[in-house]
Structure 1
Amino acid sequence: MEKKPIILLNIDSLMAHPLELAVQTGRAPALQFLMENGLYDPAMVSSFPTMSVTIDSSLLTGTYADQHHIPGLSWFDMEKNQFVNYGTGFRETFRLGMRRSIHQMLYALNNEHLSHHVSTIYEELAKEGISSGSINSFVYRGNVPHRLKTPRFLSAFTYFKNGEWSTQATSLFSLGTFSKIRPTAFTPQIAAGNLKYTARELRYLIRKNKLPAFTFCIFQDMDARLHFKGPMDIKGIVKVDRQIQKILNMYSDWNEAIKQSIWIVIGDNGHSATGIKYKDVVIDLRKVLTKYRIAKIQRSIQKKDQLAFCVNQRMAYIYKLDDKVQTHAIIKQLKHDHRIDVIAWKEKGSVYVESGMNKGRLTFHPNGEDQDVYGQFWSLEGRLDLLDISWQGNKLQYGDFPDALARLYGALFSQQANCIVVNAKPGCEFKAQSTPFHLSGAAHGSLHKQESLVPLIIAGTKMKPRFSRIVDMKSFIIALVEQYKGKGK
């Protein structure tokens, strides 16, 4: 069979409804071409929390967070007794410490936090002598050593000696000013390239006939726009589509593009529209749990601190720092806020779920006798409707919370910490100290289908993943590489 390189384009925050609107109005001809000449699924299930680093980790390792150990964009490291933040917003990262956040994002994420008990697509392909490329992704762990140099003006904000650091990445590796594929490339952004930069890096590989067997590219720009413009804004899609048009134009015609390569386009997470009034839609955890002593993010953990909050927009982790604090007392307090629709915690290998909106409790753990639509087995007891789960024949079917059991289990068991997961109802989001919020805009992070279902486009092959989930993409891509014998350059 003819060798065909695989190009995966991850359009951050791409959602089905605005994508279809852009296509129907003729404003996204490149995406329309790929959709009409391939497979289009508007409802691929993302990871949880629906934050980019967790999603990309699930995509690249084929596991949920209980195995890859990246709990979210913000979490608390109980071993080091410190907050971990890969960049939730300027005010929050500034208070935490810019040096720590930059180090966590650029180095610790891949070299310390991402579990070494799982392997990435890049690592598995490298074992077979197959090359790969990463453009603009902060999750990049591979088998090829790279020596990177931080720009002089930024080196003061890092722990790297002389601003230089070593990491393991893909053979072709592009990450803003730190690593470039084009020798003379310039990026207007420090940590990562914008959509034009990403497209130029990919076009260079095509023009020079240097495409590896698998290339992962991320277009990040749209996410920030949607936070302020709302989920139905399509201008970001139009801008990304223009760049994809330029990429496809590298070939004699667009049909030749899908003849020579396999094109996969995905969104990573959706957005949920947020309300207008602060007091109605912003859930300030400091006020909900006001009787407890809350750790301050700008200082080291104190002996008197009882709780720590790590907010990922529409979901949050609540950590117990004091063993004397009773989990059930916290749960009882959280249930008083009717804007919190899922409250979950773990005990002895099981997950317990309650709600601020509904009465009752659901308990579940894996390896039982109840099978879901993804072939996963569970043991469940209690109120299935708390997670909008129902029986479809002899299998469990998911509603408002796609693949809820595996994704919620993954988040709670992503770390050893004794923590509680809270999920905000649509229109609302969480806040703690210096946490950014998005009134009259949009936010993500939660278990809800608005943020959890994203589009998938595959052109250039008849193959498709076993299930339409981010977590199934790794095995699908490796199978594609094997099918099309893509050894790369």
Structure 2
Amino acid sequence: MAQQQSAGKPVILLNIDSLMPYALEQVAQTGRAPALQFLMENGMYFPDMVSSFPTMSVTIDSTLLTGTYPDQHQIPGLHWFDINKKQFVNYGTGFRETFRIGMRRSIHNMLYRLNHEHLSKNVTTIYEDLAHKNTSSASINSFVYRGNHPQRLKTPKLLSALTHFEDGEWIAETPTEFSLGAFSKFRSKGVPTQVAAGNYKYTAKELRHLIKTNKLPQFTFCIFQDMDTRLHFKGPTYMKMILKIDNEIQKILNMYPSWKEALYQNIWMVIGDNGHSATGTRRRKHAIDLRKIFKRYRIARLQKSVTEKDQLVLCVNQRMAFIYLLDKKASLDSLVALLKKDKRIDVIAWKRDGAIHVVSGIKEGTVSFRPNGPVTDIYDQTWYISGNLDILDLHVTNHQFLTFGNYPDALARLYGALHSHSGTYLVVNAKPGYEFKAQATPAHLSGAAHGSLHRQESLVPLLVAGTNKKPAHRRFTDMKNYILNLC
């Protein structure tokens, strides 16, 4: 293996949105993706890194950058409800849904509130920790970017009227080097083809600029987002975009005297963020309409202010959803009873009396758990657990050792989601092949979707080349400390 153990080498983390193990293995092993094949053959390959939950980009990136689940970083999902302000919070789930909530509010949420208000001040990001050590860092194409470096960002004129910023400008706390499409860029003559975050070619050019100008910091986080949209429509077996991104990685490696020299000079990581589950073709069958399940209740409308008459709020994150109970006269038990009738829902979870309770539309019984008990899982977390373990596909040995099946790190991830923000709410998970629907929710029929707790969306690949050190566990929550130890 062409590797050199050298402390302090710059770490470059390339996040390929929606990269899945099977697809990566196919293109690498058949020689269609030479750069990824080189990194795999000259480094370490982990096909089963456990992502965050829900498996949605802002929650996942927050977990990766803070080393915590949502109970600590407090970014619940791409779409959630702020019970204190009685407002829907949407970071961009789709045009129709975003438009009804309010473009101005959603854009402000994504550009500013996500990093400066919603992301908990009780946790630190990799960028902040590195800054405390006077170590530089870079973020390219990531909406989760909070650092310690004040930087004035300017909104393009076409969008400035849709923000809360005076003249479309604001001061953001960013890493040392920061690129986010038209809002901030390294190359003065660079023209992003997308306003928000640029495409894969633009992203690669920004990274190459750092290398070419000798401005590559100790840690660089770079996201290629393009593949996610294509998989939504073409399904999880679509691989052409991986080949296009691989071509850009080849150009990056070609900047060095040899690809092996690139490994001597830097530590290279390639990671996915979430997988996809194939979706069915029939809307009535494969789209779980929560409005029909709860037709006896008054459901808050996206485009209207929430009133005292509203009983429920529905926030869909593709294959998972938050269901908020506003009516103090109603009970979660009545909502659970309605959901259990639907065989397309495999996980229904809520918190009560210090414990998490889970039922299913598929299996009978209840499983309940809480932290700090006699059962130890494969990640050295301890739990009290009782009930029907089959609901979460859990397996406990006689020595009180817990392993996971179809729902990786299920206990910690459900606990994280149910303690991610205030309110009385349920977390629901759809079986593979199905997704949830509410008002104006984007549909992905005959394609693919994510968001759920299931292994199909939760297990993603990680390539590491240029070091022999491994993360403590194969989870996104372990990536922050892993990177900091390398830096």
TM-score, normalising length: structure 2: 0.98
Letter in 2 for 1:180: K
Distance 2:219 2:287 in 1: 41
Q: Aligned to 1:231, which of 232, 236, 244?
A: 236
Secondary structure of the residue aligned to 1:67 is helix
Letter in 2 for 1:236: M
1:327 aligns with 2:326: no
- Deviation, 1:72, is 0.2
Paired residue for 1:487? none
Q: Aligned to 1:187, which of 189, 192, 198?
A: 192
Letter in 1 for 2:219: F
Paired residue for 1:437? 443
Q: Which runs of 5+ in 1 are unaligned?
A: 482-489
Paired residue for 1:416? 422
Secondary structure of the residue aligned to 2:415 is helix
| 8 A Cα contact 2:374 2:400, kept in partner | no
Secondary structure of the residue aligned to 1:467 is coil
Q: Aligned to 1:150, which of 142, 148, 155?
A: 155
Paired residue for 1:458? 464
1:306 aligns with 2:311: yes
Paired residue for 1:215? 220
Distance 1:417 1:19 in 2: 40
1:125 aligns with 2:130: yes
Paired residue for 1:406? 412
| 8 A Cα contact 2:69 2:477, kept in partner | yes
Paired residue for 2:3? none
Distance 2:164 2:448 in 1: 34
| 8 A Cα contact 2:9 2:486, kept in partner | no
Q: Aligned to 1:177, which of 167, 179, 182?
A: 182
Paired residue for 1:484? none
Distance 2:121 2:263 in 1: 35
Paired residue for 1:26? 31
- Give runs of ≥4 in structure 1 deviating > 2 Å: none
Task: Report Cα offsets for 1:41-72 as digits up to 9, x if no partner.
Answer: 11110000000000000000000000000000
- Deviation, 1:183, is 2.0
Letter in 2 for 1:404: A
1:260 aligns with 2:297: no
Secondary structure of the residue aligned to 1:409 is helix
Secondary structure of the residue aligned to 2:93 is coil
Distance 2:130 2:201 in 1: 28
Paired residue for 1:342? 347
Task: Report Cα offsets for 1:236-264 as digits up to 9, x if no partner.
Answer: 11111011001001101100111100001
Distance 1:280 1:98 in 2: 31
1:241 aligns with 2:231: no
1:54 aligns with 2:84: no
Paired residue for 2:432? 426
Letter in 2 for 1:212: P
Secondary structure of the residue aligned to 2:314 is strand
Distance 2:22 2:315 in 1: 30
Distance 1:348 1:458 in 2: 43
Paired residue for 1:165? 170
Distance 1:232 1:86 in 2: 27
**Compared with structure 1, are the counterparts of its residues 412 and 2 closer, same or farther at alpha carbon in structure 2 (3 Å cutoff)?**
closer
Task: Report Cα offsets for 1:89-108 as digits up to 9, x if no partner.
Answer: 00000111100000000000
Q: Aligned runs of 1:100-115 on 2, under 5 Å? A: 100-115=105-120
- Deviation, 1:460, is 0.1
1:275 aligns with 2:280: yes
Letter in 2 for 1:169: T
TM-score, normalising length: structure 1: 0.97
Distance 2:328 2:258 in 1: 65
Q: Aligned to 1:140, which of 145, 161, 169?
A: 145
Distance 2:8 2:358 in 1: 48
Secondary structure of the residue aligned to 1:8 is strand
- Deviation, 1:143, is 0.2
| 8 A Cα contact 2:7 2:486, kept in partner | no
Q: Aligned runs of 1:346-425 on 2, under 5 Å? A: 346-392=351-397, 393-425=399-431
| 8 A Cα contact 2:375 2:383, kept in partner | yes
Q: Aligned runs of 1:68-87 on 2, under 5 Å? A: 68-87=73-92
Identity %: 64
Distance 2:347 2:306 in 1: 28
Distance 2:341 2:279 in 1: 21
Distance 1:278 1:153 in 2: 36
Distance 2:171 2:124 in 1: 19
Letter in 1 for 2:281: I
Q: Aligned to 1:97, which of 102, 115, 135?
A: 102
- Deviation, 1:4, is 1.1
Letter in 2 for 1:226: L
Distance 1:360 1:277 in 2: 30
Distance 1:366 1:146 in 2: 41
Task: Report Cα offsets for 1:229-287 as digits up to 9, x if no partner.
Answer: 10011101111101100100110110011110000110000000001111111000000
Task: Report Cα offsets for 1:105-157 as digits up to 9, x if no partner.
Answer: 00000000000000000001100100100000000000000111111111111
Secondary structure of the residue aligned to 1:75 is strand
Distance 1:41 1:63 in 2: 20
| 8 A Cα contact 2:264 2:466, kept in partner | yes
CA root-mean-square deviation: 0.8
Letter in 2 for 1:51: M
Distance 2:84 2:184 in 1: 31
- Deviation, 1:2, is 5.9
Distance 1:272 1:2 in 2: 39
Letter in 2 for 1:427: G
Letter in 2 for 1:416: S
- Deviation, 1:24, is 2.6
Distance 1:280 1:357 in 2: 16
- Deviation, 1:192, is 0.6
Distance 1:310 1:142 in 2: 29
Task: Report Cα offsets for 1:177-209 as digits up to 9, x if no partner.
Answer: 001112221101001111011100000011111
Distance 1:349 1:480 in 2: 38
Distance 1:349 1:198 in 2: 45
